[in-house]
């Protein structure tokens, strides 16, 4: 799935040259991007300037508003839907990662405890394993 940057690139790439020119004009009036930076900018440069000035969330919001002013409602809806999918995906990733980390940490904790117990049995000779340790010693001695 695409990132916010890719979504904005894709959206502005869908605009024809004259529509992109109009988009940049409306962006100059609505945003805080100087006209000199947008004058010769293509779709990619425009997106980069928007992200630089506004950040990803605000850039998407501004793009949607400008597209609606231009009566490009289909593009605006498409961007809105894809952006909400990206947001949901990004919010689920940390939860999945935490679950994986928790499961791994539990496994390692249990494994460490089991290994400690086995080491104690072998090296300290616990009473319930005394016969086992004696047999091991005798087998090692006989060989």
Position with higher pLDDT, 35 vs 49: 49
CATH classification of the domain holding 29: 1.10.533.10
> Do 14 and 84 fall within a single domain?
yes
Instruction: Report the number of distinct structural domains present in the chain.
Output: 2
Q: Are residues 26 and 56 in the same domain?
A: yes
Range of the domain at 81: 4-91
Instruction: List, for residues 79-89, the tens digit of each pLDDT value.
Output: 999 988 888 87
Question: Bigger pLDDT: 142 or 44?
Answer: 44
Q: What is the pLDDT of residues 88-99, one digit of tens each?
A: 876 655 545 555
Q: Is the pTM of this model over 0.75?
A: no
pLDDT of residue 78: 92
At residue 122 the predicted structure's pLDDT band, cuts being 50, 70 and 90, is: low
Same domain, 75 and 106: no
* Tens of pLDDT, residues 9-42: 999 999 999 998 998 888 888 767 888 888 888 9
Task: Please provide the DSSP assignment of the chain as one string.
Answer: ---HHHHHHHHHHTS-HHHHHHHHHHHHHHSS--HHHHTT--HHHHHHHHHHHH-HHHHHHHHHHHHHHTT-HHHHHHHHHHHHHHHHHHHHHHHHHHHHHHHHHHHHHHHHHHHHHHHHHHHH--GGGHHHHHHHHHHHHH-
Whether residue 74 sits in one domain with residue 9: yes
Taking residue 11's Cβ as centre, other Cβ atoms within 10 Å add up to 23
36 vs 68, residue with greater confidence: 68
The answer to whether residues 20 and 73 belong to one domain is yes
Picking from 49, 65, 91, the residue at the C-terminal end of a domain is 91
């Amino acid at each position: 799935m695409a990132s916010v940057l890719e979504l904005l690139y894709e959206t502005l790439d869908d605009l024809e040259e004259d529509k992109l020119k109009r988009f940049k004009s409306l962006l100059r009036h609505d945003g805080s991007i100087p006209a000199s930076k947008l004058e010769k900018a293509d779709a990619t440069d425009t997106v980069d300037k928007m992200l630089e000035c506004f950040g990803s969330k605000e850039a998407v919001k501004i793009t949607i508003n400008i597209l609606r002013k231009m009566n490009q409602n289909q593009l605006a809806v498409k961007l809105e839907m894809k952006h909400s999918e990206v947001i949901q995906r990004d919010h689920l990733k940390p939860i999945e990662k935490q679950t994986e980390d928790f499961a791994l940490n539990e496994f390692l904790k249990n494994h460490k405890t089991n290994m400690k117990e086995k080491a104690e049995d072998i090296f300290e000779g616990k009473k319930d394993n005394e016969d086992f340790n004696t047999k091991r010693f005798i087998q090692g001695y006989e060989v």
